Structure 1
Amino acid sequence: MVVAGVLKLIGSGLEFFLGIPGFGGGLILTLLWTPLLFMLIYHIVTLVLSKKRNAPVWGPVVGIVASTLGVIPGLGMVLHWAAFICLLVDGILSLNSKKKASEVTA
């Protein structure tokens, strides 16, 4: 569960940069939408790892939606913001649940 939580937090940081007005859109356009493809694959990997460890999956799902609909300029920016917030909260909750589980067994 720690791996899934850390991947969610890293993904939230990447989504933060993609959601910055001007910078994120410019980066995506300059690299011919490659960052969106990378993030789609990244979120799918995070989703699979989360499912294997019975961690919540709503953060990666929002990230997948943001990566697929991110080609629409205004909507993409808002979706990257939503993915950032969801992944951040999901990652923190995943890491906290791991911490609480280890306290119970100790």
Structure 2
Amino acid sequence: MKISTLLKWITGIAEALLAIPVAGGLFILSTGWGALMFMFVLHLITLIFSIREQRFSSGSILGLITSMVGAIPIVGWLMHSITALVLLIDGALSMRTEQKVE
């Protein structure tokens, strides 16, 4: 499994956890928006590996945007949900193409 694929799964699961209504918002607030800064850096790292491995990077770009607007209550929840879906689907498709290559 390529590093970009693993990072897409990790960021997708983390985004899904942040998308849990109330709990995700409380977690973000309790960390003083540190969780959003951490996710921004993690999405940036995933983007760099995706580009280096010539993989789709739309989920990571969406994640960077989500990390910037994630503090807005309803918009943040919607963006975290969409980003989680995009990253998890992208991770699954990446695994599938990696298996076909081998």
TM-score past 0.5 threshold: yes
Distance 1:99 1:47 in 2: 21
Distance 1:4 1:26 in 2: 29
- Give the structure 2 partner of residue 62 of structure 1: 62
Q: Secondary structure at the match of 1:26?
A: helix
| Backbone CA RMSD of aligned residues | 0.9
Please list every run of 5 or more consecutive structure 1 residues that lacks an aligned counterpart in the other structure: none
Distance 2:4 2:92 in 1: 10
**Superposition map of 1:36-51 within 5 A:** 36-51=36-51
- One-letter amino acid matched to 2:62: V
- TM-score of the pair, normalised by structure 1: 0.93
Q: Secondary structure at the match of 1:13?
A: helix
Distance 1:88 1:32 in 2: 26
Following superposition, the deviation at residue 62 of structure 1 comes to 1.1
The alignment-based identity, stated in percent, is: 34
Aligned positions, number: 102
Following superposition, the deviation at residue 94 of structure 1 comes to 1.1
- Give the structure 1 partner of residue 23 of structure 2: 23
- Give the structure 2 partner of residue 77 of structure 1: 77
Q: Which has the larger radius of gyration?
A: 1
- Give the structure 1 partner of residue 89 of structure 2: 89
- One-letter amino acid matched to 1:89: I
Please list every run of 5 or more consecutive structure 2 residues that lacks an aligned counterpart in the other structure: none
